[in-house]
Every structure is written in structure tokens, then in C-alpha cells.
Amino acid sequence: MSALPWLLPALPGLAGVALLVTGRGADRVAPVAAVAVTAVALVLAVLAALTRPAATTPLFAGLRAGLAVDGLSSVLVVTVCAVAAAILVFAAGDTGEVRRARARFFGLMLLFTAAMLVTVTATDLALLLAGWEVMGAMSYALIGFVWRDGSAVRSAEVAFVTTRAGDVGLYVAAGCALAGTGSLELAGLADGARPWRDLVAAGVVAAALGKSAQLPLSFWLSRAMVGPSPVSALLHSATMVAAGAYLLLRLRPLLAATGWAMHLVAWAGALTALLLGVVALAQRDLKQLLAASTCAQLGFMVMAAGVGALAGGAAHLVAHAAVKSLLFLCAGVWLAALGTRDLGKLRGAARRDRVVGVSFGVGALALGGVPPLSLWVTKESILTVAARWSPWLYAVALAAALLSAAYAAKAVAAVWASGDVRGWRRPGPLERLPLPVLALAAATFGLVGLPPVFDAWRRLLGADGEPGPGAGGLLLAGVLALAVTAAGLKWRVPWSLPGARDWLGLERAASFLVVRPVMALARSLARFDDRVIDGAVNGVGRAGTALARLLREKAEAGVDGLVRDVGTGTGELAVLARRPQTGLVHTYLAQAAVWLLLLAVVIALTGWTC
Amino acid sequence: MRDDPLDLLPELFVLFGAVLGLLALTVSPKGGARWVAWLCALGLTGCLVTAVVAAFSPGGTVFGSYVLDPLTNVVRGVAALATLPCLVLARGVLARGGGLRPEAHVLMSLAALGTVTLAGAGDLLVLVAAYLLASVPGYALAGLSGDAPGTEAALKYYLVGAFLGVLTLTGVTLLYGLAGTSAYPGLGGALRAVPQAAVVCALVALFAGVMFKAGGVPGHFWVPDVTEGAPAAVAAFVTTVPKLGAFAALLRMAEEFLTSSAADWRLLLALVSVATMTLGNLAAFRQTNVRRLLAYSTISQAGYLLLPVVAVPAPLARPALLFYLGAYAVTNLGAFAVVVATGRDTLDGYPGLSGRSPALACALAVCLLGFAGTPPTAVFLGKVMAFTAVWQGGYAWLAVVAALNTVASLFYYLRWIVPVFRPAPSPGGDVPVRSAALTAYAAATASLVLGVAGGVVLPP
């Protein structure tokens, strides 16, 4: 039992709440406070990763809730805190999108981080759900941060409602877990009774696919792009979308126990990686390209959970977090500097500031899986396991990997092209500071693939016996990625596909298949409510008043008269009651005698007859 | 057979207090007047203390005819406690120089002694003696002022008492003739085999005197006349203290031998109760004289007090009667103390009392609302217990009639309370008598304390 697991999320959480409650008054100190808090949280996270504390508390009758830092959690908490620290440093220097309402922005970011920390350390579904939900709510608030912009708020709604639709699965899972195992412990879910276990798995998979923006719910991530760049950076790297992948990796035993869920997850991930790779390639907007690539890369992690590549999936998650936060921050710099995200207008942007440009180049090449950068290794460690699983799966994943090389090359080629950039605004030192750090991590995290390092990594995650990235596979993927990247850089194909440009029409499909029928049903139910139920209620009211009027006119006079008659009658009786008190003693005595005689006769007679 | 005079120490204390007071008055009519109240009060206090001690001693029957049990002990204590404020009120009347003599204290003590003896009587002959002891000082008290209304009151009191007392003696004689004994335990056994009509006649005659003391139908005729004609302190005494003994005696008779008789005595008492409470309430409706109003109110209360007796042998009967007696004594004394304190006998004298003396107005409101059965006063609790007891005893209709009567009674109590809290038509007025006012405050407080504490302590 230790306080550290509680302290870790509580520190950023309480700091976030304090900033939110204080409001505009804290705008000045908010950046410094938030960065300091995140730095301390990072120290705590490292401490927790080393000591592996656990803590539980009674929740409801017979249930315990707990937080614990085990191998997977320790990787996640350090990643979350490190990425959050880097992004908040960037945001502290950001003079663009989050210039206003800094207390609100940093408060929400801290609370968002705290929720992610709870999610990745929870040992039971109750706390996990709590973190999960707070994270969803914060994502809504952050995507719609510029609330004066109506379209931003609408996009936030789309993102929130879509992820919430998946979240329903987690509630179903919690209920079924309680029914099946009698507890909410994550570790015990795989041992549940038969029908319940399958329902739990279905709920968890639905929630995770929704959160991780996998097919067919990918479109919300496109809408999430309207948020400020630091928000995108945090949302797409170590939090939110990562939560879905984390949950699936964490519950890999449950997926394996049901059988079908593991196949479903593996293929959902692989297809997402492939199709969203196509989508990414078709984008003209840098942030949209990166968003689609996030879906695709998370597809690899989800596939890892399906095929059981625990160590590979976790490594890919960490490496991708560094890469993607870096790329979004760079996109943020250019958006602030040039006011555009259009790849065509960003030509030559990377040449204006070499720190930003080189960092972006390193990150993008890593995203494309170019050796020797990190994602090349981590992706291959997943593909190695997938190849053993099914050659078809491997083929799809390899195609997806080549697509990632293609869209990464497209982005690099666009920003490094020689071009004329107008209206440049120099990024501040704080904005530039995290970029090389993240680039370094993006470049070197591939070292995890070295056999001795991977061995330790496997042990850390408790995935003994999982094969590391194979040399043959590495060679093949590396050569192909280099070839594709080189081709992409040389010919700069403005590859465009109308269907892929708007994300395969997923949002329209969802709107057509789900939103419209639901709204139509809601409208008809509302009509039913207005006409029938409300009408009945109004009818009762009207009938009541009518009846009351009738009673007032017809019956009340009678009741009133009765009351008056009772009063008058009692008054007359009262007069009568004073009559015996004549004041004359002889009448008293006579009356008393009559009374007694009467009593005697009555009692004697009743006794007689009985 | 137990015959230790020390068992009667509480009674002896009252007696000695009264006799010493009388001696003091005889020796020195002027100087004794100062001491007589204190001597009587001392005797009553001794009675109270020894009664408390006796409550923790083993009970039993002494001298073959006097029962020592909780009933006797409670009446000893309550009678002493109820007589003490009457002494205070009498001193208040004396201090005003209005129509009382110092002998009133002695007579009150002696009447209280009679009441205690009524409660303890375990033999019909002792009952008759106690009846006389409780009544005769009362007649003298009523006429002690010597003015015309007092004299008329005393005469009426005496004539009604003598007539009904003779009837009681007749009833005792009849019972003795039928059963061959006058002791309660023996009567219980003997009355089983006796013709029912004869027992009914004997019981009706016996109850005549008891109802005279209790102020219930048909022995109620004296109550309004004496209450109006006698000095207010005397009125407070005769409507409060003798009732205690009468109801205790009735309860004892019911428990000891009435239950074994063939006559339907419960129906008899139930009819008496209905007649008493209804007549008392109705006659109080249009009263403008507050003393007569209070007199009829005490008659209706006597009707409610009969309920627990009807309920015998329900387990709640005894606690209900004893608690109600205490609550009634406190409330009645409080109301009369207000009358003594203000010196106003008609309703016209009460508008604006709340302005002149807010505390007195509140005390009056507490007492009157208590009579009407408003929580959290003592009488409310007593009524709840009495109604519950009679319901348990199988006389649900009687409880309903009593409840209706209670509702009706609110009318005339409010007729008195409402003007009290209206502004006075003409400002100014007498300063209330201090001792009487203090008595009223104490009574009102006691009513509330009993009501709240009793609700906590007693079984529902």
C-alpha cells in the first residue's frame, strides 16, 4: 500500500481543477505552474516505474477499486508525463492559438493528463471508466477550446458523441463483468463465465476501437483537428487515442480467451492501418494527413493487441507518441507562423527555421519507417508476430507500412520543397525547445529492438517468449521503405483520390446510417410525447378543473351548508346544555336522581338482554 | 397483618401540619396567620418526601384496609404537589385582602389528606370516611369568604355532596349486604354469585358519591356554581385536588373487584364518560365568565379521565390515568393561577393581556392549548395514552367520541386565547399578583417539560 499511485494522477488533477476554478485570474501563472506540475509528475512517474507501487480502496459494498503501476503501466505513465511535459513547454511559449484563457487551457490539459494517468494505472473497470470518461469530457472541452467558433464546437460534439457511443460498450462490459465474475478487477476478466466473458470482450473492443479511432469510427479524429495544435499533439500521441490501444494491450488475455475477439481486433487494426494510410496519402491538409496517419499507426498497435505482440505494441505506442507529438508541434509552429495547414502553401516552410524543419524531417521519416529510425524497428516487431499469425495479415500490414512511407515522404517533400514563404513569424525559444528533444527520442527509440534491450523490454512487459524484430523482416521493410520514400521525395506525386480525401465518407455514412435514423426516431418520440403523453397530462388537468368547477357549483353549497348546520346545531346544543344548570339546588338533586335511576335501568336492561 | 403507623407517615405529616396550623391560629389569631401557611406547607412537603421514600419500600395492605402501592404513592405526591400551589394562591388572595381567612390553608391540607385517603382506601368503609374527610373541608372552604356568592356556593356544594354521599353510603350498605364483606379483595370473590340487577343498583349508588368528588355527571352540578362563587384559590383547589383521589379510588375499585362482578360496569362508566365530556364541552361553548368556562372545562376533563378506568384491565390503563391526573393538575392550576394573577373573571378582561404581561399570556395559552390537547404539552400526552388504552380495552367508539369532543373543545379555549393576543381596547390595568403569576409560569413550564420528557420516557 502506498500513496504514490494516488499522488501521481492527483497532482496534475488537483492543479488542473485549481487553475480552472481560479479562471482568468491565473492566466499569468498558469503556464509556469502547469509546466512545473508536469515536471514533478514526470519525476513521480519515474519513481513509480522504479518502485511499482499499488494501492486499493473500498468502493461499493464488496468491491475494491485500485491503482497500480506494473510493467505496462510504468511504460505508459512515463510516456504520458514526458510527452505532456514537452507539449506544455511548447504551449507555454505558444503565442498563437492559446494566447487567450491560458488558465482554462492549461487546467484542461492537466486534468486531461491526470485522467489518462488514472486510466493507465487503474486495476479495475470502475476507476478506469472514471478516467476514461473524464478524458472524453476534457477532449470535448479542448477540441472546442475556441468556443466562439461555432464549427469548432460542432466538431467537438462530433468527436465527443462518437467516442461516447463506443464508451457505452465499456459500461456494458462493467455490468457484465460484475455479473460474470462478481468483481470489476481487470485481471480477472478473462476468467469470467461463458456468455458474460464474450459480452465483456465485445464491450471493451467497441470502446477501445472508438477511442482509438479505428474503423469504422475513425472520422472523429478528422474533426478533432480543429483544436489547437498542442491539443492535437497530446490527443494523438500519448493520451486519448492511446488509451484504446492501451486497454486492448492490457486486456490481451481476455481477447485471447474468447478467440473471436482476438481475430476481430487484429483485422480491424490491420484494415485501419491500410485504409487510413490511403486516406492519409490523399490529404492536402498537413494536420489531416497527420490525423489519418495516427489512425493508421494505431491500427498497428491494435493489431499488435490482437496477435499478441505485447512488447512490440507497447514499443510502437511509445515511439509513435514521440513522433506524433513532434509532428503536430511542428505543424503548430507553421500554422502560427504562416496561418495555413495546406501542404501546397507550406512549400519551403521547413527551410525557414532549420530546427523546426530538421525535427519535422526526422519525425516524418521515422513515421515512414525509414531505417534506422524508431518506428521502423517497433513496427517490424509487430509484423514479425503478425507474420506467424497469418501471411494475409502480414501482407496487409506490410502494404500499410509502405503507405506510411509514402505519406511521410509526401509531407517531407512538401515542406522541404524550395518555395517562397510569405509572412514568416519566428517561433519563440520555448516553442523550439521541445522539438529536438522529441526528435531525438523519435530517432533513437529504435534501440529497443537490439536483442539484449528487447529482452529486458519483454521482461518489463511480462511478454516472455515474444519474438523480437526479425533481421529478414527488418531488411525487407527497411529497403522497401527507403525505396518508397526515395521515390516519393523524387517525384513528389500529388496523389489524390476523392473518396479518400474525405476519409472514405465515414462521417457521411455514420450520419446516414446512425444519426439520421436516431434523430428521426427521437423526433417521432418527441411528437408522441407532445401529443399523447403530454396531451393525457393536460387532459387530466383540464378534467380536474372541470370537475372542481362542477363540485364548486353543485356540491360545495351543500358541504358548506352542512358545516354551517353542524356549527349552528352545536351552538343550539350548547344553549341546551346550560339549561340543567338552573342555579336551584332542588332541581340539581332531582336531576341527579333521575340520571342515576336512568343509568341503573339502562345497565340493568342491557345486562338482562345480553 | 401489618399495622405499623409509620407506614402512614405521609398522611400523618399532612395531618400534623394542619393540626399545628390550627393550634397556632387558636393560640394567636394574629400571629398564627403568618405561620399557618408555612406549617401546612411543611406538612405537605413532608408528605411529598416520605411518599418518595415509600415508593422505594415494599408495598402491601396495612391495617387490613389501606393499600400501599404505586397508585397510593403517586396520589400522595401529586396531591401534595398540587396543594402547595393552592396555598400560594390562597396567600395571594389573602394578600389582596379579598374574602379569605387563614384557616383556608388548614382546610386545604385536610381536604388533601382526604384525597390521599380516598386513593389508599382498600375497604368501602374507609372509602366513605375518606369521602367525608375530603368533602367537609371543601364545603367550609367554599363558604369561608362569608360573602353572598360564597355562602350560596357552599350551601349548594354541601347539599349536593350530602345527597350523593348518602347515596354512596346506600351503595356501600347494599354491597355489604350482598357480599358480606366491605374489603375489596373479599368483594371481588363474593360478587360473582350475586344477582346482576342488585349489583347494578349498588354500583350506581356507589358511583354517585365518587362522581361528586370527580366532578362528573351526575355529580357535576356544584362545579360551575362553586367555581364562580368561591374565591379563585378555593375554586382552583376544589376542581383539582379531590379529583385525584376520586379517580384513584375508582381505578382501585375497578381493578380489585369490579372486574369480577357480573354487572356491565364498563358500559356504565363509558356512558357516564360520554355524558360528562359532552355536557362539559357544550356548556362551556357560550360562557363569558372565565371561571365558569374553566369549571365546565374541568367537567369535560373528568370525562376524558374516565377513559383509562373503562379500559381496565388493559396494561396501559394505570400509567395513562396516573400521567393524565398529574398533567391535568398542572394545567388546571396554571389556568386558575392566571385568573388569580389577573383578577379578571370575565372574557372582557382579557383583551390586551399579551401586551400588559406577555409571560402570563403565554402561560395561559400553554395551559389552555394543553387542555385542548396540543402537543407538546402534558395533557396531550395523557390524552394520547388514555385514548390508546381505551382503544386497546375494546371501546374504540368511546375513543372516537372523546376525540370528537377534544376537537369541539378547541372552540371555547380559542375564544379565550384569541382575545388575549389582541391589542387592548383601553391601555393600562392592574399589575398581576406576583406569587400567582409565578405559579402560572411554573405550571406552564411543568406542562411543557412533562409533555416533552414524558414523550421520551413513557411507553407510547
Average model confidence (pLDDT) across chain A: 85
Distance CA A273, CA A279 (A): 10
- pLDDT score of B429: 64
By the CB < 8 Å criterion, does B279 face chain A?
yes
- The distance from CA A211 to its chain's CA centroid, rounded to whole angstroms, is 6
- Cα–Cα–Cα angle for A413, A416, A418, rounded to 5 degrees: 110
Q: What is the DSSP letter of B346?
A: B
Cell of A542: 383540464
- pLDDT score of B304: 95
* pLDDT tens track for B371-430: 998 888 999 999 999 999 999 988 999 999 999 999 989 989 999 999 898 887 766 666
* Helix boundaries (H) for A447-553: 451-461, 471-491, 498-501, 506-510, 516-528, 534-550
Higher pLDDT, A125 or B169: B169
- pLDDT score of B289: 92
Higher pLDDT, B444 or A469: B444
The percentage of residues in chain A with a pLDDT greater than 90, rounded to a whole number, is 12
* pLDDT tens track for B246-303: 999 999 999 988 888 878 889 999 999 999 999 999 999 888 999 999 999 999 999 9
- Average pLDDT on A269-280 reads 88
Q: Which residues contact B285 (CB under 8 A, 6 or more apart)?
A: A570, A571, A574, A577, B411, B412
* Helix boundaries (H) for A59-186: 71-93, 102-121, 125-143, 150-181
* pLDDT tens track for A7-22: 888 889 999 999 888 8
- The distance from CA B186 to its chain's CA centroid, rounded to whole angstroms, is 29
* pLDDT tens track for A477-514: 888 888 888 887 777 666 666 666 777 777 778 778 88
For testing the chain A interface, which of B282, B296, B297 should be mutated: the one with the most A CBs within 10 Å?
B282
3-state secondary structure of B62: strand
Distance CA B53, CA B304 (A): 31
- pLDDT score of B134: 94
Helix-then-strand count for chain B, H and E:
18, 2
* pLDDT tens track for A522-562: 999 999 988 888 889 999 999 999 998 888 887 777 788 88
* B460, pLDDT greater than 60: no
Interface of A with B (CB under 8 A): 570-571, 573-578, 580-581, 583, 585, 588-589, 591-592, 595-596, 599-600, 602-604, 606-608, 610
* pLDDT tens track for A319-355: 999 998 999 888 888 888 887 778 777 787 778 888 8
- pLDDT score of B215: 92
* A97, pLDDT greater than 70: no
Domains of chain A, by residue range, sit at: 4-493, 584-610
Cβ–Cβ < 8 Å for B424, B361: no
Cβ–Cβ < 8 Å for A468, A449: yes
* Amino acid code (one letter) for B311: A
3-state secondary structure of B220: coil
Q: Which residue's entry shows cell 480502496?
A: A57
- Average pLDDT on B75-85 reads 94
Q: Which residue's entry shows cell 384525597?
A: B115
- Average pLDDT on A580-599 reads 89
- Average pLDDT on A83-112 reads 84
* B343, pLDDT greater than 90: no
Distance CA A244, CA A116 (A): 11
- pLDDT score of A496: 67
Q: Comparing A15-19, A230-234, A591-595, which segment has the lowest mean pLDDT?
A: A230-234
CA-to-CA separations, B15 to B27, B108, B226, B249, in angstroms, rounded: 18, 11, 25, 20
Whether A573 sits inside 8 A of B264 (CB atoms) is no
- pLDDT score of A492: 65
* pLDDT tens track for B300-337: 999 999 999 999 888 889 999 999 999 999 999 999 99
- pLDDT score of A491: 73
Average model confidence (pLDDT) across chain B: 90
Whether A591 sits inside 8 A of B218 (CB atoms) is yes
* pLDDT tens track for A359-392: 998 999 888 888 888 888 888 888 888 888 888 9
User: In B, which residues are within 8 Å of A607 by CB distance?
Assistant: 196-197, 200, 262-264
Phi-psi region of B247 (alpha: psi -120 to 50; beta: other; left: phi over 0): alpha
Which of 318-337 (B) contact A at CB < 8 A? Answer: none
Strand bridging mode A64-68 / B66-68: unpaired
Q: Facing residues of B62 across strands?
A: B2, B66
* ipTM of predicted complex: 0.89
Q: Facing residues of A56 across strands?
A: A66
- Cα–Cα–Cα angle for A15, A17, A19, rounded to 5 degrees: 70
- pLDDT score of B384: 92
Looking at chain B, which residue has its C-alpha nearest residue A587?
A: B221
Q: Which of B22, B32, B71 is nearest to B252 (CA)?
A: B71
DSSP string, A250-312: HTHHHHHHHSHHHHHHHHHHHHHHHHHHHHHHH-SBHHHHHHHHHHHHHHHHHHHHHHT-HHH
* A446, pLDDT greater than 90: no
Q: Which residue's entry shows cell 435514423?
A: A517
At residue A61 the predicted structure's pLDDT band, cuts being 50, 70 and 90, is low
